[in-house]
Amino acid sequence: MLGPVVVDIEGTALSARERERLCHPLVGQVILFSRNFESPRQLGELTAQIRSLRDPPLLVCVDHEGGRVQRFRTGFTRIEPMAHLGQAWDLGVLPACRAALSTGYVIASELRSRGVDLSFAPVLDLDWRRSEVIGDRALHADPRVVTMLASHLIQGMSQAGMACCGKHFPGHGWTRADSHHEIPSDERSLRKILDQDAAPYEWLGIGLASVMPAHVIYPKVDRHPAGFSRRWIEDILRTRLGFTGAVYSDDLSMAGAAVAGPLIERATAALDAGCDFILVCNDPDGCDSLLQELTWTHGKHFDARLRRLQPKAPAPCPERLGEDPVYRAALRDLEKRSSMQ
């Protein structure tokens, strides 16, 4: 059985300590970063090491959105910032939808060919031109456009066998503060947030396999950041908006999570609020302590939500990916867009 904790590793191969940590029953997934990547071949060897440790294998995840947030570059297609798709929409709706579809397919097929199961994408935040940490990661300022482009990105990922994760619920685009370093606050009313930033989460419906809440406080709704708020996760996301997938906490080591207390209290608060999975990154000692202290109840929906995140088809062979006509067609779409910019 896989557990709810998502952990990272330090280098390009597993250490003995990391192998032991990944075998802990509370661990269920591994998130990779740029520091874990040297080449596509090395990445494939690393993910194979990770997958060999458990049965069923641990899920391997990454933030690979494109633009500034693309963890693997050499040997991978350069993915443009998502804002470029929004700009393309303003010039022509249907070509932009095709480009989004192809982008999702290329991202997912390349990752899956090297053993990565899930990318934490797409970003559903609105481009309010206020948040530097979001910036060109946002697709558009209009929630309707964000929804349409995101749905095509998700469809492309799904065609390559990969699930999706919409982030950062209910929206990180309005706040100027970066939750990696501060505790942001959004003073708007619940009605404004639901009508604008959170609208894509409702409109995408069952298309969203998972969601990641923001480390942002919305004081007119709850005093807790969204990722630690049962009101946001259970009452609003699940009940009011009808979301049925998995919920990931954002990284519990970020400054935006500090309001919840020490790491064990952050983890407990996130799980109690309704998160199915909790990320613990860049703190191996803290992670080991957490795994010894954390008490977790295997909920009745956990297995079904986890299944929705697992790949839906065999991973493509990396040496033969270029022979796949669908991949080649998607790649041509991206190359065509690049040549036009």
Residues designated catalytic:
180, 250
Do residues 130 and 175 lie in contact, with contact meaning Cβ atoms separated by under 8 Å? Answer: yes
**Orientation angle between helical segments 93-113 and 143-159, nearest 10 degrees:** 40
- Say whether the peptide bond before residue 170 is cis (omega within 30 degrees of 0): yes
269 near 223, Cβ under 8 Å? no
C-alpha to C-alpha distance for 193 and 146, rounded to whole angstroms: 15
Q: Which two tokens stand for residue 52?
A: 């060999």
Two tokens, residue 203 = 């409109």
Distance CA 136, CA 279 (A): 24
Secondary structure of residue 285 in the 3-state scheme: helix
With residue 273 as reference, give the H or E element that holds it.
helix 263-273
Provide the residue count of the chain.
Answer: 341
